[in-house]
């Protein structure tokens, strides 16, 4: 016979799911190994800053490479890559055959002789010949023609993304562009995307801050919600959905009809824009339909948020809970991106003839990247799970308190201490289940990209069905996890036991509670859509002004993902509070009958709200709370066997 478990916050607890916590620690030990390897072997600056033929990265100080006497130079003031033979470049194995140097400025006018090169170096401080050739030797050294650029040197200007000196002479530019286009097109999508992220890093950071501001504004708005605010939010969401969908379609046709679209990154932008436009249109139609169907529930939704706001008013520090979660997520994401960039550029410097340096990729990088990607999903979900358990623990403590006017002292700190002392393993296990469902979707996306080249309609249809199925499973599991976390906060049991108990109690009352909570969840989802829509709109306007060689549509997707996570992190305070409150309510109704011997823990406002909402749902004028099964046996909160 299993140990009796009382439906109430217990005082004496034990550690739950410790084996899963140990597995998580071992997994992070692997991440630390990959981090150390990436830091030692990688150089993310090479993706964007560029480097010369001698292993020097432009725009920074460098360390010497053995066997390369011209390496290890200070290039802090030399930020541009200049090719000595820019008018007749050739590419071999993703490498440009011409020697390249780091220079402080590109020649703005054509240079026809060595004297012109010497004069340009003295006037501008930018030496266009090999580093070991002094400026005074340009016209004296007999080998100067071999150590300096091919004459005449065409006028050029720096390119904004890769910091290259691009020749402006029409003939040279066409040859230069063709080689550069071939090089970018032959780069794998992984490196092209990383280049786009690095190039637009300032925009990505700015848009993330914008999403943070929108999320914080919505948290304050929902705390003091009124019916007019709900109507305003819905109007803004409708406007945002229609406007973003229209902008995406307009950009797609603009890119598609642009005759200068030659780079693979530009073609990828067109493909992604089409996918975004279709997805946005479908989401817009679905949400508009749901808003029309559920419009009569707005009054009850406002009343629900007032009750939730009343609970949060008793625990005001819950509003600050998303802040530390957000800060931890930001620190982790910055760490993850930094390691990813270093891992993508991990390679060994090898010297060739003439003291030149080549970087060759190391083996096993692809497997490390996949491991690192799983770490992103698992750790992010674990951090969000810790927030959910903290909020649920605080709500449970306050709900099962007889004196509503005198809440327990420091419920948030108490919930955090219980989480870290006993239930981290439960959060690890719940977040791992979400991760397991995310990985098949990634594999399906990879297979779809392979089959898409064959233009198989069957493969496309199968892919869409599978992705929809996996997404539905993820959504159900997320709700399932939340109830399991709340039950763990009540009973102190492990994940599986808590999930079973939660399903047992909710199965009896699902018809009564599901119709209530789903409308609140829908309004919160509209709030998340609001944040994503206006953040993505800002991204569309910002990225569209920098089209050159940028796979900016993927960074835009990253911004949208971060915006959703931020809004979810902040608005989940209301979502988790409402879910935990209804689970506690179901337990209260299951184990008590409102008599003097077994009084309810619930306050009258919530009891009246649930009763009125059920009347509207079932179309009856009078309905008592008796459908919730009265428990006539046992003590006040009867143990479950």
Q: How far is CA 544 from CA 254, 274, 416, 539, 553, in A?
A: 11, 15, 44, 8, 9
Q: How far is CA 603 from CA 359, 584, 624, in A?
A: 69, 12, 16
What is the predicted pLDDT for the residue at 382?
94
Strand partners, 96: 91
pLDDT digits (tens, 9 = 90+) for 44-90: 677 667 888 888 888 888 888 888 888 888 998 898 889 888 787 76
Q: How far is CA 480 from CA 134, 207, 248, in A?
A: 71, 32, 35
8 Å CB contact between 553 and 570? no
Cis-peptide, bond into residue 152, ω within 30° of zero: yes
- Beta-carbon count within 10 A of 292 CB: 8
Question: What phi, psi does 81 have (nearest 5°)?
Answer: -95, 125
Residue 471: partners with Cβ closer than 8 Å, 6 or more residues away:
441
Q: In 3-state terms, what secondary structure has residue 459? A: helix
pTM over 0.75: no
Distance CA 528, CA 566 (A): 9
Residue 31: partners with Cβ closer than 8 Å, 6 or more residues away:
371, 372, 375
What is the predicted pLDDT for the residue at 28?
95
Q: Which residues of the chain have pLDDT under 50?
A: 1-5, 184-190, 548-549, 620-641
Strand partners, 111: 153
Exposed, middle or buried: residue 474 (CB in 10 Å: 0-12, 13-18, 19+)? middle
> Of 348, 350, 359, which Cα lies nearest the Cα of 68?
350
Distance CA 160, CA 552 (A): 14
Positions of E strands within 322-409: 347-351, 357-361
Question: What phi, psi does 163 have (nearest 5°)?
Answer: 55, 40
What is the predicted pLDDT for the residue at 219?
77
pLDDT digits (tens, 9 = 90+) for 407-444: 778 888 889 999 999 999 999 999 999 888 877 777 77
> Helices in 187-319 by DSSP H: which ranges?
189-199, 201-223, 227-256, 264-293, 298-314
Distance CA 213, CA 219 (A): 10
What is the predicted pLDDT for the residue at 323?
82
Q: How many CA atoms lie within 13 A of 79 on its CB side?
A: 10
Question: What phi, psi does 93 have (nearest 5°)?
Answer: 55, 50
Which H or E run contains 95? strand 95-96
pLDDT digits (tens, 9 = 90+) for 474-526: 777 887 888 899 889 888 889 998 888 888 887 776 656 666 667 677 778 87
């Amino acid at each position: 016979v299993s140990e009796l478990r009382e439906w109430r916050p217990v005082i004496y607890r034990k550690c739950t799911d410790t084996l899963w916590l140990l597995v998580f620690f071992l997994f992070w030990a692997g991440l630390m190994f990959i981090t150390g390897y990436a830091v030692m072997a990688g150089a993310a600056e090479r993706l964007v800053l560029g480097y010369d033929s001698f292993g020097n990265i432009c725009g920074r100080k460098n360390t010497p490479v053995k066997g390369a006497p011209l390496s290890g130079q200070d290039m802090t003031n030399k930020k541009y890559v200049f090719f000595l033979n820019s008018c007749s470049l050739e590419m071999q194995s993703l490498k440009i055959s011409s020697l390249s140097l780091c220079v402080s400025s590109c020649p703005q006018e054509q240079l026809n002789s060595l004297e012109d090169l010497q004069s340009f170096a003295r006037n501008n401080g930018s030496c266009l010949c090999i580093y070991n050739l002094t400026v005074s030797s340009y016209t004296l050294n007999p080998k100067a023609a071999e150590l300096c650029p091919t004459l005449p040197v065409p006028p050029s200007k720096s390119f904004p993304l890769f910091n290259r000196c691009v020749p402006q002479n029409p003939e040279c530019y066409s040859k230069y562009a063709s080689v550069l286009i071939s090089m970018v097109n032959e780069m794998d999508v992984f490196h092209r995307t990383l280049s786009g992220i690095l190039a637009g890093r300032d925009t990505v950071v700015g848009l993330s801050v914008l999403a943070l501001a929108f999320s914080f504004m919505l948290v304050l708005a929902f705390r003091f919600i009124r019916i007019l605010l709900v109507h305003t939010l819905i109007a803004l969401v409708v406007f945002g959905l229609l406007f973003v969908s229209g902008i995406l379609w307009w950009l797609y046709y603009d890119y598609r009809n642009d005759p200068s679209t030659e780079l693979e990154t530009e073609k990828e932008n067109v493909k992604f824009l089409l996918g975004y436009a279709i997805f946005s249109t479908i989401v817009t139609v679905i949400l508009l339909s749901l808003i029309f169907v559920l419009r009569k529930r707005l009054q009850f939704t406002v009343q629900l948020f007032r009750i939730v706001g009343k609970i949060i008013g008793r625990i005001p520090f819950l509003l600050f809970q998303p802040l530390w979660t957000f800060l931890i997520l930001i620190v982790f994401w910055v760490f993850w991106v930094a390691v990813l960039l270093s891992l993508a550029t991990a390679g060994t410097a090898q010297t060739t003839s003439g003291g030149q340096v080549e970087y060759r990729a190391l083996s096993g990088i692809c497997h490390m990247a996949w491991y690192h990607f799983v770490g992103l999903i698992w750790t992010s979900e674990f951090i969000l799970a810790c927030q959910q358990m903290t909020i649920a623990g605080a709500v449970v403590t306050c709900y099962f308190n007889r004196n509503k006017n005198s809440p327990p002292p420091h419920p948030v700190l108490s919930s955090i201490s219980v989480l870290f002392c006993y239930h981290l393993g439960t959060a690890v296990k719940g977040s791992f289940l979400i991760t397991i469902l995310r990985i098949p979707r990634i594999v399906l996306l990879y297979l779809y990209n392979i089959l898409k080249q064959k233009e198989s309609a069957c493969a496309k249809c199968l892919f869409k069905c599978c992705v929809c199925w996996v997404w539905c499973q993820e959504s159900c599991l997320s709700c399932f996890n939340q109830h399991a976390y709340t039950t763990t906060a009540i009973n102190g049991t492990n994940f599986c036991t808590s999930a079973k108990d939660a399903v047992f109690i909710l199965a009896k009352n699902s018809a009564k509670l599901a119709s209530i909570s789903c409308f609140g969840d829908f309004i919160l989802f509209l709030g998340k859509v609001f944040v994503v829509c206006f953040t993505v709109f800002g991204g569309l306007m910002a990225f569209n002004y920098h089209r050159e060689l940028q796979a900016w549509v993927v960074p835009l997707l990253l911004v949208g993902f971060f915006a959703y996570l931020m809004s979810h992190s902040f608005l989940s305070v209301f979502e988790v509070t409402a879910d935990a409150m209804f689970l506690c309510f179901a337990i209260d109704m299951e184990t008590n009958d409102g008599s003097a011997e077994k009084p309810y823990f619930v306050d009258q406002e919530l009891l009246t709200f649930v009763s009125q909402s059920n009347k509207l749902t079932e179309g009856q004028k009078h309905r008592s709370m008796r459908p919730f099964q009265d428990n006539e046996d046992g003590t006040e909160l009867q143990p479950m066997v």
